[in-house]
Every structure is written in structure tokens, then in C-alpha cells.
Amino acid sequence: MPWPLFIVPRVCPQGAGSRIGSTPSASDTPAMSLREIEGTCADAESESSEEFDVANIDLAASFRPEGVYHLTETLTAVTSGKLSSKKHRLTPNIKALIVTAVLFTTITLAQVAAARIANSQALLMDCISMGVDALTYMGNIWVECRKQDGAPHEGSQVIVCLISLSCLVYFTWSASQESLQTIAECRGLTAMDLPDNDVNGSITLAFGAGGVVFDILSLWAFCHSRRKEGHAVNMFTALLHVGADFLRSVSTVVMSLLILVGHFESTCLDAYTSIVIGVSIVCGAFFGFVSLAKLVIRWGRRIAARRAEDQVGFTPKVAS
């Protein structure tokens, strides 16, 4: 009589244990074929992959693009469903990322031009987070294309996040130097060399009010989107992003009203406001680096799980 053979089951990702045990019992083995076990593991891996992805709101500099992204994603999904059931290269998600990246790149360039015309460091500082957002969404297009091709995308996601956060911190620090110099002049710490042209409060008020509208739109779109139900989305992080965005927008609006109505010294007030905006951006970057660290840890765990799976495989084991 030959020795009975037992198949060591494939190691599924963490979280799949609710459907498959690490070693099926004798009563469970006849009820589940090897094909069913492999299929269940594949489903578990798919779920693990979905949980692995980190939402854009956790890593972007601000939350403003989310409103445009979710609205565009919904519209493109409906349009794609009407056109054909054939798989397209440009998925609704990729289309939404493209529209959002192009739109915010355009808005950022327009705000940079307006900041130069208005002589506003605060408005220019706010452009940094928007520009990095556009860069982040462009990078996410690359990540989504790799995911669609079936290529490993975790490393690409880490690279995009690291580049975006590094650019955010560097440009914020660089832009704050001029504001700090202006504040020193306003406080009499250095020789007074303020520019002759005052800050145009009307232009800064228009862009500040526009930022408030974008913030409300983003919060509304997120609350009505499917992302709020995902495991990767942290509502607390989302609210932090919204709070930071509102702080920047409201600070610009208050500064503009003080210049237009209160007749405050515009250059000094603008410099103080730009520092407030810069601090909010750096705080957001800190949480972004925390999310990036979590992403790297989860990536490392998944690589370790893959290696363990390759080592175990389906090795036949002779019962003693």
C-alpha cells in the first residue's frame, strides 16, 4: 500500500485565512479541490493588492484635486460603459488622472502669473502645493499604466511619492526665504528694502475665494465617492488635508480683506501669510512622509510574503 500523499497548500496573502486555513483538515480537503484553492488564493491576492494601494489623498500635497478627479472618473466611467465593453488602454481612472493633472497644471501656471502680477508671496507659496499635486497625479498615471500592464507597480508608487514630497519640501523652503527676509525688514532687524509696488488685494482675494470653492467641491466629491469605503483611505488623513487646504485659502482671503478694507501694510502682511501657508504645507508633507513610510513597510511585507510563497510552493509532503 503506497504512502498517502498530502499537498501543502499555497500560502495566501495575509487576510485570506478566513477562507483558507494554512493546512486544510481531512474533512475539508475532499470538499475543496486544488483548482478551487488556487482560485481562492488568487482572489485573496487581488484583495491584498487593492488594500496595498494607497489613495492619492494620503500622499498628495493638498486635497483640492480630489473633487475634479472623482467627478471626472464618474463621467469617464459612464462614457466608457456606453461606448463598448472592449478593454481600452485609457481606463476611466487614467482618464480622470489625465484631466486632473492637466487642469491643475493650467491653474497653477495661471496662479503663478497672477502672483507675479499681484506681487504676492502668499499666492506664490500656495502654488507650490498645487504644482506638486499636478506632478503627483502625472506620476500616478505612470503607476496606473504599469498596473494595467500587469507589471509590479509598488516600487513605482514609492518613487512617485518620494519625488513629490521631496519637491514639496524643497520648493516650500526655497520660497520661504524671501518671505523671512521681508519679515525681518518689517520688524526692523535688517535694513528696510521693501518693494515699491504693493500687493494687489483684489487678485489675491479672487484666487483665495476660488481655493475655498475648490476645497468645498473636493470634500463633497470625496464624501460621495467610492473611495471613502476603501481600506486604504484614512478619513482622518483626508480631513487633515482638507483642513490644511482651507487654512491656506482662508488665510489668503483674510489677508486680502485686511489689505482692501483694513488698509494694512500689504507687503508685510503678505509675507506673514506666506509663512503661515508654508508651515501648513510642511505639516502636510510630514504626514505624507508618514504615509510613505507605511507604504514602504507594506511593500516590504508583501515582498517577503512573495518570497515565502515561492519557497513553499506546492511541495508534496509524505505523511509519517
The C-alpha angle 128, 131, 133, rounded to 5 degrees, equals 110
| Host H or E run for residue 175 | helix 154-186
Q: Where are the domains of the chain?
A: 5-44, 57-309
Grid coordinates representing 244?
490644511
Q: What is the pLDDT of residues 113-169, one digit of tens each?
A: 999 999 999 999 988 888 888 888 788 788 778 777 776 667 777 887 888 888 889
Mean pLDDT, rounded, for 184-197: 73
Looking at per-residue confidence, does 53 or 282 come out higher? 282
Looking at per-residue confidence, does 275 or 47 come out higher? 275
CA–CA gap between residue 16 and residue 44 (Å, rounded): 5
**163-184 burial code (b ≥16 CB/10 A, e <16):** ebbebbbebbeebbeebeebbe
pLDDT at 278: 92
Grid coordinates representing 103?
487642469
pLDDT at 153: 67
pLDDT at 193: 63
Q: Is the pLDDT of residue 80 over 60?
A: no
CA–CA gap between residue 168 and residue 129 (Å, rounded): 7
Q: Is the pLDDT of residue 305 over 80?
A: yes
Q: Quick one: residue 300, left, alpha or beta (phi over 0 = left, psi -120 to 50 = alpha)?
A: alpha
Q: What is the pLDDT of residues 229-249, one digit of tens each?
A: 444 444 555 566 667 778 888
Grid coordinates representing 308?
515565502
Q: By the 8 A CB rule, do 60 and 133 touch?
A: yes
